[in-house]
Structure 1
Amino acid sequence: MITAELKNIYFNGDIKDKNHAQLIMSASHSFCLNLCLDIGEKGLDGGNYFYTTVVNLNWLINEIKKERGVLEESLIVVDNFEDFNDLEIFIRNKINEISGYTWNDVLKKLRHVFFWEYEEHKIV
C-alpha cells in the first residue's frame, strides 16, 4: 500500500510564513488561512501541490451571517486551534490516513479533499 505524506506547508495570500500564521491564529477571534500542501508518497522525495483553505468556526459563522451561506472548495473547518503546530499535526494525521494500491489511487482520494495543482489541465 502507498500512503500519502505531508512534506511541507507553504503559505498563500497575505500570510508570509508559519510565524505570521501563528500570530493570526492566536490574536484573532476568527481566521482564514490559505495553504499550499506539498504531499507525496511516504518515504520518497517529491510531491504534488494541493491547495486548501483552513478556517475556524468563528470565521465560518461570520461568513454565513454576511453571505447567508458558504460555498468553498477544499475547505477545512477547525475549532479551538490557537497553535499552528497543532493545526499542522491535525492536517498531517488526516493526510497520513489516505492510502491506496497506486499513487493514482492516492491522488484520486486527495483530489476529493484538496484542489490539486494540475486540476484544470486537460491531461487530467
Structure 2
Amino acid sequence: MASRRPVRAKIRNFFIAGNSSDNRNPWAIAPEAADDFSIVVELEISANGRTEAGCYRVIVTTPKYLAHEVAEEGSRFGRRYLLVTQWDWSAIMELLRDEIESIADATWQDVHDRLRRVTMWEYEDFGIHAQP
C-alpha cells in the first residue's frame, strides 16, 4: 500500500489584527518603539494544495512590553506568544513561516491540533472541529 503524503500547513496571508485601515499591509505600520510593543498577527493557514483557509492568531511582543504588563498586572500567562527583541516585520514573517510551515502530519485535524499549540484558532472555544 502506498503511503500518503503528509498534510502540511501553508500560510496564505499575514495581517495585523485591529488595524482597520491597512490590516492587509503589515509593512504600512510600525510600533512607536521598536523594542516595546505587542501586536496580534492573524494568519490565514490552509493545508498544502487547498484553497480554503482558517484564521489563526499569535501575539508578537517584546520582553520589554511584557515587563511593563507584568509590573502593572502582577502576572501574565504566556501561551501563543512570539517573543522578539525588536520590530522587524520581515524577520517576524520569516519566523512565523518557518514555524508554521514546518508542521505536517497525517490529517488536517492533526495539523490543526499542532497549530493550536502555537496559535489561537478563530473558533478556539466553540467546540467545533477544523475543516481543511
TM-score range, shorter-chain basis? 0.7 to 0.9
Which residue is equivalent to 1:33? 39
The CA deviation at 1:103 is 0.5
Which residue is equivalent to 1:77? 83
Which residue is equivalent to 1:43? 49
* 1:7–1:40 Cα contact (<8 Å) kept: yes
5+ residue gaps in structure 2?
1-5
Q: TM-score, normalised by structure 2?
A: 0.79
Which residue is equivalent to 2:97? 92
Q: Answer 1 or 2: which has greater helix percent.
A: 1
CA deviations 1:15-59 (Å, max 9, x no partner) are 7431343x21xx403011112111111233221101221101111
Matched, 1:62 2:68: yes
Q: What is the identity, as a one-letter code, of the residue corresponding to 2:106?
A: Y
The CA deviation at 1:60 is 1.2
Output the CA distance in 1 between the equivalents of 2:48 and 2:69.
36
Aligned residues: 120
Moved more, 1-10 or 100-109: 1-10
Which residue is equivalent to 1:107? 112
Moved more, 63-72 or 1-10: 63-72
* 1:73–1:115 Cα contact (<8 Å) kept: no
**How much identity, in percent, do the aligned residues show?**
23
Larger radius of gyration: 2
Divergent runs of 4+, >3 A: 14-17
CA deviations 1:92-119 (Å, max 9, x no partner) are 1010111101111101101122111122
Q: TM-score, normalised by structure 1?
A: 0.84
Output the CA distance in 1 between the equivalents of 2:74 and 2:109.
37
Moved more, 8-17 or 109-118: 8-17
Which residue is equivalent to 2:17? 12
